Amino acid sequence: MKVLLLLAFAAVCGLASCRPQEEKYTTKYDNVDLDAILKNDRLLRNYIDCVMGKKSCTKDGEELKRVLPDAIKTGCSKCNETQRNGAKKVA
């Protein structure tokens, strides 16, 4: 269960790609319907499998996988308010 919550948190923080010059994550994925992902076992499983390296990733999944370590390491310090709220929702 903790792994699932961690991965769901990652989905929120990690759906943003990193912009190093601004030290913030992009807002490109801020309008993603997190409730729809969390309620859809197939979508959620695809993101989890992508991050865990068990399955190929979509472009969104690749971004999630790429920024996830940084988002976890920094406690989502590069997240904007929308992304933080999404992370709280998932956690």
Q: What is the pLDDT along the chain (91 residues), one digit of tens a residue?
A: 555 555 556 566 655 544 445 689 889 999 999 999 999 999 999 999 999 999 999 998 998 898 888 888 999 999 999 988 988 887 7
pLDDT of residue 86: 84
Check residue 54 and give its pLDDT: 96
What is the Cα–Cα distance from 53 to 78, expressed in whole angstroms? 24
C-beta of residue 5 within 8 angstroms of C-beta of residue 90: yes
Please tell me the distance from the alpha carbon of residue 31 to that of residue 73, in angstroms, as a whole number.
24
Its CATH architecture, for the domain 2-90, is: Orthogonal Bundle (1.10)
**pLDDT of res. 73:** 93
Instruction: List the one residue out of 15, 31, 22, 29 whose CA is nearest residue 67.
Output: 15
- What tokens appear for 39 in the block? 């309620």
